[in-house]
Structure 1
Amino acid sequence: MQPLINEQSYRQLPSDCYADCQPTPVKTPQYLAFNQTLAAELGLPETFWGTEAGLGLFSGNQLPDWASPLAQAYAGHQFANYVPRLGDGRAILLAELRNQAGQLQDVQLKGAGRTPFSRGGDGRSPIGPVIREYLVSEAMHALGVPTTRALAAVSSGEWVHRDEALPGAILTRVASSHLRIGTMQYAANRQDPSVIKTLADYVISRHYPSCHTAENPYLALLQKVIDRQAALVAQWMSLGFIHGVMNTDNMTLSGETIDYGPCAFMESYNPTQVFSYIDQQGRYAYKNQPAVAQWNLARLAEALLTLINTSQEQAIALAVDSLNRFPEIYQHYWLTHFAAKLGISAAESTDKLLIDDFLTLLAESDSDFTLSFRDLSSPQQGYLSQQVAPERWQAWQSRWQDRLKAEERLGQDPLALMNKTNPVLIPRNHLIQRVIDNVTTTGDLTLFNQLHRLWQTPYSATTENAPFQQPAVPQERVCQTFCGT
């Protein structure tokens, strides 16, 4: 079966929104991983499923005639510093294909060589970041988080040079689009004011078609993205996920998680936790993610002002009103997720205190975030009873049990809710690093394949996955993560 023809919709935009470019061929590509399930969803022909033809596609060495490679242009605030021209410096959009549900999907090579936006870089990726993004993005998908997906990973047979020479690799990434807040910033700063309108109309058509009939389509677009991002960040928080580099060029307009460079899942609960080596000031710490999201959304609002209203004063007033709703929207999603983690199906405002007090217990006792929440559904709560001071644990537990009795009277099943909300497995940092070390030093993919398989069912406790449920021991801890550039 042939895929639907590459729709090339991005090429309908003004030419300064992208640049034509070709992947740079690599020496001796070899498969690291191939996602057959995702390939089937995309309608990718089986001639590319783990075959030599597929290797030509996923390495960029030999593209089929339906590929139409380009690099997207975008700007961005990086750690609050505005850079007017970033763009895909090592990523190349190959095609837009419709999946089985009829949704348009970007197929992109990451680490495929220089583009016109490379800014002096080599456009390549070491194998470590490719392994990390493949594993974590697919684990996030299994956890139910909106995210980009990994279709394939191949080693290049070449070395890339960072602080040291490292084996190179290329990731094939799939997303509902790669449109970012930074994309809108770039368009808004073009000399031609029609560029931002054309792009905004494209975003609406691709992601939020109902906005076309809204009284103010561009204000409606802003409000849709605000809602999507509030929902996404609340879900990150409920899983202890720290993105690590929430620049405006790393926030999608679709509400999908993108770019897994210095990301990490928190182990011991610590609201100020930072993993990213480049985040020296803690701007993107766990507790700061909601506020950063709102700040980034304000940058999106600035890009849309001329479309929201011809009067700048009125446009600002409308945008600010929408942005001021973010905390309330975020808090709704946050409360829903965290209440469910306690077995509460219909959250009430008073539940926030119960949740906050539980998180305080975890912080004071240095308890593992994931294990603690999962332990709530065990009969004795053995982990928590050992971690938390007995009198404090019993006092909180008594309040919690009283709250669950109200749920049960309503016919709800708190245990079932907790078991489908609190994962047993997350991609723990030390496990990812162990995989990277194995693949980098010996090419051994055994642990990679095992963890990838286990992380597809993160809510099921099994004998096989029991060893991977535990946090790192002190000598295994990975305290800093790095970008893949």
Structure 2
Amino acid sequence: MPTDPQAYHPEARLLTLGDRFYDPVAAADFPETRLRFRNDRAAAQVGLASLDDGEWIAAFGRFDPLPGTLPQPLALRYHGHQFRSYNPDIGDGRGFTFAQLRDGRGRLMDLGTKGSGRTPWSRSGDGRLTLKGGVREILATEMLEALNVPTSRTLSIIETGEALERGDEPSPTRGAVMVRLNHSHVRIGTFQRLAYERDEESLRALVGYTLRNLYDEDSDDPVRLLDLVVGRTATLAARYMAAGFVHGVLNSDNINVTGESFDYGPWRFAPTWDPAFTAAYFDHQGLYAFGRQPEAIHWDVMQLAISLRQIAESDPLVEALDTFGDRYMAAVTEAILWRLGVVARDPTEDRALVQHVERALRTTGASIDRFYFDAFGGTLPDTYGKPWTEVRNALAPYAPRKDRSHPYWSGEPCSMLIDEVESIWSAIADRDDWSLLDAKVASIRAMGEALA
């Protein structure tokens, strides 16, 4: 299988952990493998963009092993709190990790799947993914990448020719298998499983693996790991808020230790700054509502701290955990200034500006995307009246970090609200028309160029 020798750097670091952490599995044998989406931009970063479509399907639809990396797929073991209830009976139930590669920055990256078949952790599930779920994952990851949110990237979607029965979609519905590119699939729940089983030896091994392979630190210090995870996850929470994004299922098995967002199910983008806005129809208590996401992620990181107490003293772990709030406040300030397209000035002034923006968005019910589009570069149009006076005054001394010369700024803001998501899917479901999806991905990437 041809790969780019300059960019293809295979690894198999997962194997150093041993079989206490995973189960070797085989991919499902799909009736069809019809390529629907290939992300050559992401593939180029790991030396895979040169694959032709047949080779691509062999790798990401049939899961022929990639040269020099894992010899077979591995379903990872983990536990997790799901809506604050502990579940010891989970793991990779419809996915696996089947390759590890270095990207252009030297980071260890996992190629993981969704919808690739049953594993020992599938329970009563069929191990499959709906095509609609795959399309929604493309839209989520492309949009978040453009909005500067650390996220997995959807590398491939292949339709499998299967008809699936689902309770939350009109059924039968079309099946697919997805491949994601992610910095890590080691989750907070991975640590929780080992703590639950009181396996201190494996806990220490996982700490060392994570620090060495995912943070490039020659250390086995659990406190150092927690401190790094607190920083990454505080940044993730902040960028969710700046993006107006609601993940929907911030369980501890859905938070990885590198602070990258991944595994998109009932996600939504909030049309307005409504702290109570929820994404999941089954989130009846609003546990993972838009405004509660920082709290939810902090709670998940607390579960990591509790797990690490088996191999570390409590006081330094608590000290590291207690920095989450301050780090989140600094990160959300930075994230909102980035989206406003202005250069930071002074921490006190910067925080005041962000508070004015959040208050005005909340009280006026203005469109989040429209506001950031109009205000990019630091100048608020006159159409924003009296409720925006404090924002306008606070913005006045700020210099733009980038001009508005990109063609994106001559059009309309790129949003990703639920009605458009459903329209894109309807065109595919009703007419097998992929043009709306293709056009949307192109417009999202244009926005990303304008913002970057």
Same fold, TM-score > 0.5, yes or no: yes
Partner residue, 2:56: 54
Counterparts of 1:186-265 in structure 2, within 5 Å, are 186-210=193-217, 212=219, 217-265=221-269
Counterparts of 1:357-368 in structure 2, within 5 Å, are 357-368=356-367
Structure 1 residues 442, 82: CA separation in 2 closer, same or farther (over 3 Å shift)? same
Aligned pair 1:172/2:179, yes or no?
Answer: yes
Partner residue, 1:118: 122
Aligned pair 1:369/2:368, yes or no?
Answer: yes
Counterparts of 1:319-334 in structure 2, within 5 Å, are 319-334=317-332
Structure 1 residues 332, 211: CA separation in 2 closer, same or farther (over 3 Å shift)? farther
Per-residue deviation at 1:188?
2.0
Task: Give the secondary-structure state (helix, strand or coil) at the position aligned to 1:372.
Answer: helix
Q: Which amino acid aligns with 1:32?
A: R
Total equivalences in the alignment = 438
Q: Distance in 1 between matches of 2:446 and 2:162?
A: 34
Task: Give the secondary-structure state (helix, strand or coil) at the position aligned to 2:309.
Answer: helix
Per-residue deviation at 1:192?
3.2
What TM-score do the two structures reach when normalised by structure 1? 0.84
Q: Distance in 2 between matches of 1:176 and 1:186?
A: 21
Counterparts of 1:258-273 in structure 2, within 5 Å, are 258-273=262-277
Identify the structure with the greater helix proportion: 1
Q: Distance in 1 between matches of 2:367 and 2:23?
A: 46
- Structure 2 unaligned residues grouped into runs of 5+: none
Q: Distance in 2 between matches of 1:383 and 1:153?
A: 44
Structure 1 residues 33, 330: CA separation in 2 closer, same or farther (over 3 Å shift)? same
Which deviates further from its counterpart, 222-231 or 449-458? 449-458
Q: Distance in 2 between matches of 1:444 and 1:211?
A: 51
Partner residue, 1:427: 416
Q: Indicate conservation of the 8 Å contact 2:245/2:268, yes or no.
A: yes
Partner residue, 1:276: 280
Per-residue deviation at 1:103?
2.4
Per-residue deviation at 1:12?
1.8
Partner residue, 1:391: 386
1:361-407 superposed Cα distances (whole Å, 9 cap, x missing partner): 3223221011112222489855853xxxx4333x3255325xx33x4
* Runs of 4+ in structure 1 over 6 Å off: 417-420
1:209-239 superposed Cα distances (whole Å, 9 cap, x missing partner): 3361xxx821011000000111111111111
Q: Indicate conservation of the 8 Å contact 2:73/2:99, yes or no.
A: yes
Structure 1 residues 41, 272: CA separation in 2 closer, same or farther (over 3 Å shift)? same
Q: Distance in 1 between matches of 2:82 and 2:405?
A: 37
Larger radius of gyration: 1
Per-residue deviation at 1:165?
1.2
Q: Which amino acid aligns with 1:332?
A: A
Structure 1 residues 327, 419: CA separation in 2 closer, same or farther (over 3 Å shift)? farther
Per-residue deviation at 1:267?
0.9
Q: Distance in 1 between matches of 2:370 and 2:444?
A: 16
Q: Which amino acid aligns with 2:215?
A: Y
Q: Which amino acid aligns with 1:413?
A: P
Task: Give the secondary-structure state (helix, strand or coil) at the position aligned to 1:276.
Answer: coil
Per-residue deviation at 1:264?
1.3
Q: Indicate conservation of the 8 Å contact 2:380/2:392, yes or no.
A: no
Which deviates further from its counterpart, 243-252 or 33-42? 33-42
| Alignment counterpart, residue 448 of structure 1, candidates 434, 437, 441 | 437
Q: Which amino acid aligns with 1:180?
A: R
Q: Distance in 2 between matches of 1:378 and 1:221?
A: 37
Counterparts of 1:337-356 in structure 2, within 5 Å, are 337-342=335-340, 343-356=342-355
Across the aligned residues of Structure 1 and Structure 2, the Cα RMSD in angstroms comes to 2.7
Q: Distance in 2 between matches of 1:179 and 1:260?
A: 16
Q: Distance in 2 between matches of 1:414 and 1:43?
A: 32
Which deviates further from its counterpart, 94-103 or 162-171? 94-103
Partner residue, 1:20: 24
Partner residue, 1:472: none
Structure 1 residues 367, 45: CA separation in 2 closer, same or farther (over 3 Å shift)? closer
Counterparts of 1:57-96 in structure 2, within 5 Å, are 57-60=59-62, 62-63=64-65, 67-96=71-100
Q: Indicate conservation of the 8 Å contact 1:75/1:83, yes or no.
A: yes
Structure 1 residues 80, 267: CA separation in 2 closer, same or farther (over 3 Å shift)? same
Q: Indicate conservation of the 8 Å contact 2:30/2:162, yes or no.
A: yes
Which deviates further from its counterpart, 98-107 or 336-345? 336-345
Structure 1 residues 347, 153: CA separation in 2 closer, same or farther (over 3 Å shift)? farther
Q: Indicate conservation of the 8 Å contact 1:377/1:418, yes or no.
A: no
% same residue: 27
Q: Distance in 2 between matches of 1:123 and 1:23?
A: 10
Q: Indicate conservation of the 8 Å contact 2:77/2:190, yes or no.
A: yes
Per-residue deviation at 1:438?
1.6
| Alignment counterpart, residue 427 of structure 2, candidates 438, 460, 478 | 438
Q: Which amino acid aligns with 2:205?
A: T
